[in-house]
Structure formats: structure tokens, C-alpha cells
Amino acid sequence: MINPDPSALEAFWMPFTANRQFKAKPRLLARAEGMHYWTSDGRQILDAVAGLWCVNAGHGRSEIADAVAKQLTTLDYAPTFQMGHPLAFELANRLIEITPKDFDHVFFVNSGSEAVDTALKIALAYHRVKGDASRQRLIGREKGYHGVGFGGISVGGMVNNRKFFGSLLPGVDHLRHTLDPEHNAFSRGVPEWGVHLAEDLERLVALHDASTIAAVIIEPVQGSAGVILPPKGYLQRIREICDRHGILLIFDEVITGFGRLGTPFGADYFEVTPDIITAAKGLTNGAIPMGAVFVRKPIYDAFMRGPESAIELFHGYTYSAHPAACAAAIEALNIYQRENLLTRAATLSRVWESAVHALRDSRLVIDIRNIGLVAGIELRSREGAPGARAYEVLTKAFEEGLLVRVTGDTIALSPPLIISEEQIEQITTKLAAILRTIA
């Protein structure tokens, strides 16, 4: 499909895509290896976003492909309702080895969206089994992204993800976000200003009463809204407030898990331990859809009461712990540990930071935010056309052999963790040249 007939593209209703615009001038990826994609007409594209924040070990890892192929010919599918298979238990134990202390159980799902909805259900059910059923309220955050399930978009705070779908879940409120370029523009790493924004949680407690609040869910680093970082001390303060009022704290680590910040999880980076962690994306290096929800021991133990024959949590998915997904995840963990990819971002973060902040010289750049191997480059919006300038960067970058992601007028970068210093320079050099051509 090098030059596809437009009618050949019509049947696929593409997600999060301007379908008519795309199908008029498609960008088709045909194969991938290492740090690169190749288009259907043979052009090489440097991947600066790890596919979609997920291909942490780079593309085309034969170890993962071989493990999946072997598994599909050994045990293609096995139910995990009242049944099990060895890889599910092996993977669970392997993951618990790298999660923060006191996390000792994992519930498998198929995506980040499912992980979030599962985490919210566990939080609500936890309070109920503890005899505290009045705790039904959920607190998210403005500009938060927690997938596209009804639970996730309810606690999420991105307007377009919410406005088309009715009243959503009742009993949900939102903290203010922490993006404030007036005080923090061009901060290198975690900004100094803004810890007081955590006190917004105390405001919501005063408004609703703690006895009604089940959980707070936040991303340690907000990715989809344009790489928004927590101010220094902010997450620690949120943890303290949750502890004071008996509220569960959920970290959505679908993006920050598996080495993105230079630690296995964002909880490790910020030295804040939540009660529940959601993960996906890098879990299988993007090869097979899979997600996970990690819980601390007191949460799991609260469900393990009553008759041993009783189902403790009425929740699950047909493909929970799918054998092929488990095989992919185990091999991805082998790669991450063998190649030190769970911590490699820490060794490159200073080089990355210097390279992306060099882009502040562009006349269009109004803010740059970075942490680990993540960066957001925010552009001045065109009058009356928000998002148009960044989208033009995306299309020109693709023409020039570079894959970036945009959200609004922010260019988001999150390359595979195998990236070299030379490739970091290639990314920022190409972007600087492209920005000079944008009106």
C-alpha cells in the first residue's frame, strides 16, 4: 500500500485522529527496528516518542517475538477465571520484584484504560469490604489523562475526552493542575514553585468531607496533556493529606512505569509510595496489549476474608493474563534488566535536558519541560488556530524523517530508552531546523 487508493483507507475509523485529514494525506508505517520506523515507501523515520510512549526497549526485539511465537504454539489461550497457567504467576512474581516496597499483588488487564477502571473499582470495593461504604467519591485532576473508559474519563481532566460523553460517573471532583508557565517556564526538571497547589486536596476534603472520598488518582508526570511536572514536594504533600484523611492514593504510571524517568516506576523517582499503581505500555514493550494494577498488601488482605470459596473481587477480563501477553512481558523484563533500561534514562537525563532546552532559542517556543527521557516543548499558538502550529511541526517532522507527538501546541518527546547521545542530537537538531520554517 505505497500509494493507497483513498477508498482502501475508509473502513478503519482511526482513534484520536482527524480521519478526513489523515486519509487525504496518510502517514503509513510499514516496519520498525531499533530506534526507527520505515514508511510504506521506504523512508526511515527516527522514533522520538517510543511508538506511543510504550516501545521502551526499541522496536523489533526478536527475543519478544520468539517468546510470543513459542507461547502461541504451546498454549495459545487459557482462562484465568477459576483456572490459571504458569506464566501468569511467573510474571506476577517477576513484577513484584521491581515494584516499590509493600506492593505484593498484581491484577492483570489489557490496557491502561482497563488498569485505571480496575484500580478505581478496587478502591471503591476496598472501602466497602472495610465497612466504610460511604467513601464513594473519586478525585482526579484537571488536565489528567487516565484512558478512555468511563471511569478514566470521569476522573480525567482533558476537556475533549469528556465533553462528548454525557454526565459520566457521579461523585467525581478534580484538583487543579500544576502547569504554571508564569512561575515555572523553562524549569529544568521538577519546578521549584507550586507545592502549595497540593493544598487543593484539603479544600476538596472540606467541601465533601473525607468520609465520602475513596481515592485520589494522579499521574506522577502528566503526559498526554503536554508533559506537566509536579512541583518539588507536591506529591509528598498529596500523600500526607491522603494519609491524614484515610484516602487511597492511586498513581497512574502507564507512562512513567518501566524506566521512563530513570527508575522502575515514578513512585521510586519521587520517593512517594501510593496505595495502588496502574501500568501498561512498557509492560510488554508495546508488543502485545497488556496492563497491570499493583496493590499494597493491606488492600489485598482486606478482600481475603469470609469463606475461602467466595470470590473476593467480582471483576476481570477474558484476556486477563493472556499467555502470549505474559510471554511478551517476561521477555521485555529480561531485556530491561539485562540492558539496564529501567535506570538508563538517569544516565542520559542531563544530555537530554541540555539538548531539549537548547530549543528555547526558537522564536516560537514559550516553555520547555523535561524529566528523565521525557520533554514537552510548548509553542506559541496561532491566533484563532490553537494546535495548528504544532500539527504543522508534526507533519514536517515526518517528512524530514522524525516522528514526534503533539498535544495542543506542545510537542511531546519520549524516545525509546535505547537512544544514543547522537540520536538525541539528531532529534533536537531536526526540530530546531523545522521550527525555523514554521510561520
Mean pLDDT, residues 422-431: 98
- Report yes or no on whether pTM surpasses 0.95: yes
- Chain CA centroid to CA 362, Å: 28
pLDDT, residue 78, reads 98
pLDDT greater than 60 at residue 346: yes
Given pLDDT bands bounded at 50, 70 and 90, which one contains residue 6?
Answer: confident
Angle of CA points 195, 199, 202, to nearest 5°:
160
Q: Per-domain residue ranges for the chain?
A: 6-56+341-437, 65-338
Closest CA to 288 of 260, 259, 330: 330
128, exposed or middle or buried, with CB in 10 Å at 0-12, 13-18, 19+? middle
Mean pLDDT, residues 116-124: 98
Given pLDDT bands bounded at 50, 70 and 90, which one contains residue 4?
Answer: confident
**pLDDT tens digit sequence for 260-305:** 999 999 999 999 999 999 999 999 999 999 999 999 999 999 999 9
pLDDT, residue 392, reads 98
| Bridge partners, residue 39, by sequence | 29
Retrieve residue 143's grid coordinates.
488536565
CA distance 106 to 415: 27
Mean pLDDT of the chain: 97
Decide if domain 65-338 falls under CATH 3.40.640.10. Answer: yes
Retrieve residue 335's grid coordinates.
531485556
What percent of the chain is predicted at pLDDT more than 90?
98
pLDDT, residue 365, reads 98
pLDDT, residue 7, reads 86
CATH code, residues 6-56+341-437: 3.90.1150.10
| Residue 29 C-beta-side C-alpha neighbours within 13 Å | 15
Same fold, 6-56+341-437 and 65-338: no
- 29-33 and 36-39 as β-strands: parallel, antiparallel, unpaired? antiparallel
- Chain CA centroid to CA 393, Å: 23
pLDDT, residue 2, reads 60
Mean pLDDT, residues 328-346: 98
Cβ atoms < 10 Å from Cβ of 173 = 17
Mean pLDDT, residues 331-336: 98
Letter string b/e over residues 45-61, b meaning 16 or more CB atoms within 10 A of that residue's CB: bbbbbbbebbbbbbbeb
Mean pLDDT, residues 23-41: 96
**pLDDT tens digit sequence for 360-370:** 999 999 999 99
Task: For residue 139, report the phi and psi dihedrals to the nearest 5 degrees.
Answer: -115, 120
CA distance 186 to 366: 8
**pLDDT tens digit sequence for 237-247:** 999 999 999 99
Closest CA to 236 of 264, 195, 277, 208: 195
- 103-109 and 291-296 as β-strands: parallel, antiparallel, unpaired? antiparallel
Contact 414, 373 (CB under 8 A): yes
pLDDT greater than 70 at residue 1: no
Contact 50, 313 (CB under 8 A): no
Retrieve residue 87's grid coordinates.
506464566
Retrieve residue 364's grid coordinates.
516560537
pLDDT, residue 107, reads 98
CA distance 220 to 234: 10
What percent of the chain is predicted at pLDDT more than 70?
99
**pLDDT tens digit sequence for 376-415:** 999 999 999 999 999 999 999 999 999 999 999 999 999 9
**pLDDT tens digit sequence for 60-115:** 999 999 999 999 999 999 999 999 999 999 999 999 999 999 999 999 999 999 99
